[in-house]
Structure 1
């Protein structure tokens, strides 16, 4: 394979060009970097680049592995590899491993250090230059100041367009961001659900100065249930109350009312028992023969409650073990949102179904995240809006 390969001096200039202002990422980077420096020194050129070692990062971000050799590590994480011990195969495996490490670096230490130390950001950047380097993809973006600190976190289905809006905005917050922005980094998610969850989690953790420090809950109303004196399950849209356990939540009252209106049709429920029709007698739908008569105890509570429970089960993941499958960052990749016993555990990306069918591998690729009322709202409302989303129930 090497007999007809080019000599190092023939490719040296190209190596300098493609690594200019870049960070070298390698598995056992010290070895690779030493080889490069040695070869350049023979040519009389002092080659200097910063480097990141995926062995060291893996030991920090994925502790407890039996081996940190590239082959054994990617195998234990379920990362698909072809052409092992060949340049392209090992490089692609390292790329996939590094992507996973970036996901698990929840404090964004790697990115912040990169922005702070990268020479190309030491000059005052023009907004047009920043926008030109951004893609029109779904993901989370991070606006940094000159020290590399994150001053704003956002989510968008078109990152380039959204940053352009920040740079052309005339409100007070936009103007302050325009003055302080030094760089914009981003994380592709492919999935809007993943972007929403990451944005919510990281704003709470990082508390950027231009995001609201104490961000209010992103929902105001919730769906609650109770049994009346006749043993029928009633549903009610009400102002969200932290002391009560909701079935699902809504951004506003109108959204909740629209949900209940559709549920009445989809599950053949009673308008009176869902709070849509206030009356002491039968509901309007019963009068036009579109209700089975639960409002006047004509239909048995057992039959009626069975349909209400089907609605509740569909829109709540309490006590469930499941994985929500959505788009990934590449064509052959998917995202996985892991829920265990009704608790959101975290999310990750995978290429092979084996990775999510094997619970140990699934847990290793998942980046742990906080379970709170906002994450529950994000997940439930996303499933409501996206009827065709794939959900796998785990044993």
Structure 2
């Protein structure tokens, strides 16, 4: 559990500052579960430059509660949490100093979003909160007011959690909060899990990831893990002490994250995981008459593939659908005997490329239209899918035919502005496996929105 906070102060000499405003969002890693914000009477004047910066003046605070009047609420909302703040050292010091004045020892573990951002989003022009969130396309209102800055810090922290593919933040959280390692019952873990799409991570007592999985219903999948009675499941159950999860909204992102993070983290109980065993691929060749032919063949990493398939039956079914949807010739897609009129000609589904009745140019135009739509080669595009919440969308980013990663956005200008788009993308490795996952998903989900960045159009 995290307490995302921001504090505004009077300014002044070191350790003599007073709090003028505080905002805290209690965040479970996925949702806000509690919040508190208040102006505070510091019982001392505010420095003029601070008044100009924040807009908070002495008159505004005359009837505000004093710190001792809100101290109990601050303790309640931050209890059991790790403090997260932009420049956490400052906020932690100010809070501790105020509690010291009350004779209360307030010591909290903290995470600093400045330090996390420097590690996870390197080479940004500035790491000040205002400039950093603007670079990431995160809306920021009421700058230099506690509630506005705390909301922006929360949004930034969500981005950092998503970019943290090595799970260093979660591991550090578990290390700093030993009670999280000793969840008493698997039932409690299941109860706290969402019934949503995402990736989940199981940890042992040392905070090491021992299993990674994905599901369209995380809670249901955990129930299966923890109720199975086979030997492997029982071993897993005996070692799990906590589970974290990341909602993705999009099943495609969950599939991609699961595959890459298993490869990166090599969890103990994912040893049996193999890259998706695509056995067949679709390729092309030009015959002696100049027609572009489609051909199913066994998967070969040395050869260029338009599509890959898990098995021959899936490949054959897909090829039948491709042939019909694009009005292609069954002979030229390998579904009828070579050098013979295809069966589709008798049904008027073929225009006669198999017997020279249709011109090479007309036929090849339809093949090329199919190839352009289904091949990423040299294309810059976004695959738009569901987000984690109702007003959010996800985007898979393809640049020059290479899978670059994914991101989440709320506003269209975040994907229309190239600089902001690249800053919100969480990098992932391109591979045949990733291409296979993306292409198969696109085949299954026919209604996906595809944004062609080169042509600035939508398919």
TM-score range, shorter chain: over 0.9
For 2:172 and 2:416, locate their aligned partners in 1 and report how far apart those are by CA, in whole Å. Answer: 36
For 2:382 and 2:102, locate their aligned partners in 1 and report how far apart those are by CA, in whole Å. Answer: 54
1:127 alignment counterpart = 186
1:51 alignment counterpart = 110
* Structure 1 residues 312-331: aligned runs within 5 Å: 312-331=371-390
* Structure 1 residues 222-241: aligned runs within 5 Å: 222-241=281-300
8 Å Cα contact 1:328/1:349 also seen in 2: yes
Task: Kindly state the Cα deviation for residue 280 of structure 1 after the two structures are TM-superposed.
Answer: 4.3
Change (3 A) 1:218 1:100: farther
1:334 alignment counterpart = 393
Change (3 A) 1:170 1:277: farther
Change (3 A) 1:23 1:13: same
For 2:249 and 2:64, locate their aligned partners in 1 and report how far apart those are by CA, in whole Å. Answer: 38
* Structure 1 residues 273-352: aligned runs within 5 Å: 273-278=332-337, 280-352=339-411
8 Å Cα contact 1:21/1:120 also seen in 2: no
For 1:254 and 1:86, locate their aligned partners in 2 and report how far apart those are by CA, in whole Å. Answer: 61
1:196 alignment counterpart = 255
Task: Kindly state the Cα deviation for residue 225 of structure 1 after the two structures are TM-superposed.
Answer: 1.1
For 2:293 and 2:125, locate their aligned partners in 1 and report how far apart those are by CA, in whole Å. Answer: 54
For 2:443 and 2:182, locate their aligned partners in 1 and report how far apart those are by CA, in whole Å. Answer: 47
Q: Bigger CA drift: 163-172 or 325-334?
A: 325-334
Question: How many residues are paired up?
Answer: 395
1:382 partnered with 2:402: no
8 Å Cα contact 1:324/1:336 also seen in 2: yes
For 1:275 and 1:370, locate their aligned partners in 2 and report how far apart those are by CA, in whole Å. Answer: 34
8 Å Cα contact 2:181/2:207 also seen in 1: no
For 1:122 and 1:335, locate their aligned partners in 2 and report how far apart those are by CA, in whole Å. Answer: 32
Q: Bigger CA drift: 80-89 or 315-324?
A: 80-89
Aligned with residue 8 of structure 1, among 56, 67, 87? 67
Aligned with residue 218 of structure 2, among 154, 159, 162? 159
Q: Bigger CA drift: 149-158 or 54-63?
A: 54-63
Q: Bigger CA drift: 352-361 or 210-219?
A: 210-219
For 1:256 and 1:145, locate their aligned partners in 2 and report how far apart those are by CA, in whole Å. Answer: 41
For 2:257 and 2:181, locate their aligned partners in 1 and report how far apart those are by CA, in whole Å. Answer: 29
2:278 alignment counterpart = 219
- Structure 1 SS opposite 2:61: coil
The one-character-per-residue Cα deviations of 1:340-364 (angstroms, maximum 9, x if unpaired) are: 1000111122222222111122111
2:244 alignment counterpart = 185
2:48 alignment counterpart = none
- Structure 2 SS opposite 1:210: helix
For 1:125 and 1:237, locate their aligned partners in 2 and report how far apart those are by CA, in whole Å. Answer: 53
For 1:220 and 1:235, locate their aligned partners in 2 and report how far apart those are by CA, in whole Å. Answer: 17
Give me the TM-score of the superposition, normalised by structure 1.
0.95
Give me the TM-score of the superposition, normalised by structure 2.
0.82
Q: Which has the higher contact order (CA 8 A, sep 6+)?
A: 1
For 1:169 and 1:359, locate their aligned partners in 2 and report how far apart those are by CA, in whole Å. Answer: 47
8 Å Cα contact 2:342/2:354 also seen in 1: yes
The one-character-per-residue Cα deviations of 1:276-298 (angstroms, maximum 9, x if unpaired) are: 22254211121233321212222
8 Å Cα contact 1:80/1:352 also seen in 2: no
1:268 partnered with 2:319: no
For 1:171 and 1:315, locate their aligned partners in 2 and report how far apart those are by CA, in whole Å. Answer: 42
Aligned with residue 363 of structure 1, among 422, 441, 453? 422
For 1:230 and 1:320, locate their aligned partners in 2 and report how far apart those are by CA, in whole Å. Answer: 29
Task: Kindly state the Cα deviation for residue 318 of structure 1 after the two structures are TM-superposed.
Answer: 0.8
Q: Bigger CA drift: 121-130 or 263-272?
A: 121-130
Q: Which runs of 5+ in 2 are unaligned?
A: 1-59, 455-459
CA root-mean-square deviation? 1.7
- Structure number with larger C-alpha Rg: 2
- Structure 2 SS opposite 1:289: coil
The one-character-per-residue Cα deviations of 1:256-306 (angstroms, maximum 9, x if unpaired) are: 111111122211111121122225421112123332121222222222111
2:86 alignment counterpart = 27
For 1:176 and 1:301, locate their aligned partners in 2 and report how far apart those are by CA, in whole Å. Answer: 62
Aligned with residue 60 of structure 1, among 107, 113, 119? 119
Aligned with residue 227 of structure 2, among 168, 173, 180? 168
